[in-house]
A and B are shown apart, each in its own frame.
Chain A
Amino acid sequence: MKPRAWGLTIFSALVFAFLYLPVLTLIVYSFNGPGVGGFPPRDLTLRWYGMLLEDDALWNSVLNSLTVAAAATAIALVFGLCAALALDRVPFPGKYVFRRLVLLPLILPGIITGLSLLMLFVVVGMKLSLLTITLGHGTALISVAATEILAGLQKFPRSLEEASLDLGASQWQTFWRVTMPSLRLPIVSSALLIFTLSMDEIAVSFFLLGRENTLPLEIWSRLRRGITPEINAISTIIFAFSLVTIGAWYRLRRTDEVVLPEG
């Protein structure tokens, strides 16, 4: 049925090669004895992973990033959920502007959002720290939660809420027992996405950085000093970790789809 298009197949394979070349280089050279660079890779070693274990500054930045990402995810989820409910069912003045404004940080160059927030924090006299980075990430990523949850709400039959209210449940009970359970999928998937984006965010953090580094900024400051294979090692670990997370997420979604056939 499908005509074989060899040219297209080969071209697509080359695009995949282009996409994966840096990823493979990264992984292979994390085991390369002489460090980064040189061909072919030789003297395979776990030395760089060993160095990594003793590198307190790096692990400290990983911990900082995890803390920031967790807090930013909480902020973005709470306000994103409210924003989605408001956009779906509350008419309010400035709704159009609000909708546009929330989306801006995702499409504007990160430095614009970063330095605008920097100006705010300087004017109100707030010291730059992990807290300012968290506020920045949380705010910039509200739209991720809002868009996903809004899409979920638009598929959700409102008659279920009406039924719940008619049967005597309060608005609060209806929210927790009817609305929230049906939004489980968009909430979990946007949480995962927000967490990952926050872990990798650099442009906004760049301007809001206090004394404590997040992982990308720690890597950034090391890269400026010169190339080190340790960066390959930590990146490989994080990549492997991400793959496991995506795998788990797909399994979760598959089982969820069986329970809720309407999605």
Chain B
Amino acid sequence: MYGRAYKTAVALPPVAWVAAFLLIPYAFLFCYSFWSVSGQNVVHEWTLVNYRELLHSSMYGSVMARSARIAATVTLLSMLLGFPLAYYISFHCSRRKELYQLVIIPLWVSYLVRAYAWKTILGSDGVLNSLLQFVHLSHEPLGFLLYSPLAVLITLTHIYVAFAFLPIYASLEHIPRNLLEAARDLGASGPRMFWTVIFPLSLPGVIAGATFAFVLSLGDFLSPLLVGGPSGIMISNIVVSLFGAAFNWPLGAAVSLCLLLVVLAILWVTERLQHRLTFH
């Protein structure tokens, strides 16, 4: 029923735009990672020198491992906070819509500002330290709170817990309530009903939430810069410095491409997992 002109008019512009502003740029990233740099210039000849550098220097591997560790911890914490909250709102609460909104609202405060708010809370003359001294729980400021991996964990968890919450909540809301009645009629106890009915049906949402939390925190570079200090540096910080002060775009592109491949691999795996765990 749609004419040829109609089809061309709707398909051509977005395909052309996406090719120009996404496909080609990502292709440039790929190409750059196989080029090299000499002085201030990029040498456009194919070489594996960047990847050799990545393999030989232990720094990249260890920062990548640390980033993965931080991202995994953030994911775990987001799940531990997000799942019970989603479960509570979906199953034990009469004001579901209002509480759901209450989870979303902090997302409207700028990411940067929330990270910075943690800085004012955790700093050595910050709110938390002053509070502890005010109530005489400690006599001098605790210096380890800010500029540490702990601060990065708190900040990132705060930012990504809502991203973990949303898909979990959606999957819990989709569980047909008559399944629970059936389980109860058949004599299942509360915990048994949770573990044999509710939890398995929520798994696609749990996986989606965990994927968001992991992938987004893995590539984060602002929180580490703001609250992390030298020991909180993550892989994207290295990319930023390679594109900035260090001026080695090809090496930066190689690091980014590795990060990109890791992320794509995770998405590929979790998508398959989600598909298998969804009841059709």
Asked if residues B109 and A107 are in contact (CB atoms below 8 Å), the reply is no
Least CB distance from B201 to A in Å reads: 19
Number of A-B contacts (CB under 8 A): 238
B residues less than 8 Å from A238 (CB atoms): 109-110
B residues less than 8 Å from A220 (CB atoms): 112, 222
Q: Which of these, A22, A119, A120, A146, contacts B158 with CB under 8 Å? A: A22
In the assembled complex, the Cα of A3 lies from the Cα of B11 at a distance in Å of 53
Nearest residue (CB) in A for B28 is A119
For chain B, residues 246 to 260, give those with C-beta under 8 angstroms from any C-beta of chain A.
249, 252-253, 256, 259-260
Asked if residues B15 and A92 are in contact (CB atoms below 8 Å), the reply is yes
A residues less than 8 Å from B106 (CB atoms): 19-20, 22-23
A223 and B29 contact, Cβ closer than 8 Å, known pairs A23-B109, A38-B127, A231-B113: no
In the assembled complex, the Cα of A2 lies from the Cα of B219 at a distance in Å of 41
A residues less than 8 Å from B28 (CB atoms): 116, 119-120, 123
Nearest residue (CB) in A for B134 is A39
Asked if residues B120 and A29 are in contact (CB atoms below 8 Å), the reply is yes
Is A167 located at the chain interface by the 8 A CB criterion? no
Is A258 located at the chain interface by the 8 A CB criterion? no
Asked if residues A15 and B81 are in contact (CB atoms below 8 Å), the reply is yes
Is B23 located at the chain interface by the 8 A CB criterion? yes
Asked if residues A203 and B158 are in contact (CB atoms below 8 Å), the reply is no
A23 and B239 contact, Cβ closer than 8 Å, known pairs A202-B222, A216-B110, A223-B226: no
For chain A, residues 131 to 154, give those with C-beta under 8 angstroms from any C-beta of chain B.
135-136, 139, 142, 146
Q: Which of these, B29, B91, B190, contacts A112 with CB under 8 Å? A: B29
Nearest residue (CB) in B for A111 is B236
Q: How many residues of B contact A (CB 8 A)?
A: 83
Is A162 located at the chain interface by the 8 A CB criterion? yes
Q: Mark contacts of B212-245 with chain A using CB atoms, 8 A cut-off: 1 yes-contact digit, 0 otherwise.
A: 1001101111100010000000001001100100
Least CB distance from A8 to B in Å reads: 5
Main secondary structure of the interface of B (DSSP, over half): helix
In the assembled complex, the Cα of A48 lies from the Cα of B109 at a distance in Å of 19
Least CB distance from A55 to B in Å reads: 16
Least CB distance from B128 to A in Å reads: 8
Asked if residues A19 and B134 are in contact (CB atoms below 8 Å), the reply is no
In the assembled complex, the Cα of A141 lies from the Cα of B152 at a distance in Å of 27
A residues less than 8 Å from B215 (CB atoms): 107-109
Asked if residues B87 and A8 are in contact (CB atoms below 8 Å), the reply is yes
A9 and B88 contact, Cβ closer than 8 Å, known pairs A108-B260, A111-B240: yes
In the assembled complex, the Cα of A241 lies from the Cα of B122 at a distance in Å of 27
Q: A90-B10, A158-B1, A202-B111 are in contact. List 20 more A-B contacts (CB 8 A).
A: A12-B89, A19-B103, A22-B118, A25-B127, A29-B120, A36-B120, A39-B133, A86-B7, A86-B11, A98-B15, A109-B216, A109-B218, A111-B256, A115-B253, A142-B14, A202-B222, A223-B112, A227-B116, A235-B113, A238-B109
Q: Provide a sorted-by-A list of 7 A–B residue pairs whose CB atoms are within 8 angstroms.
A: A21-B121, A39-B133, A105-B22, A109-B236, A116-B29, A119-B28, A219-B112
8 A-B pairs closest in CB distance: A109-B219, A22-B117, A116-B25, A39-B130, A83-B14, A86-B11, A242-B108, A119-B28
Q: Residues of B at under 8 Å CB distance from A?
A: 1-3, 5-7, 9-11, 13-15, 17-18, 21-26, 28-29, 32, 81-82, 84-85, 87-89, 91-92, 94, 102-103, 105-106, 108-114, 116-121, 123, 125-127, 130-131, 133-134, 158, 161-162, 190, 212, 215-216, 218-222, 226, 236, 239-240, 243, 249, 252-253, 256, 259-260, 263, 267
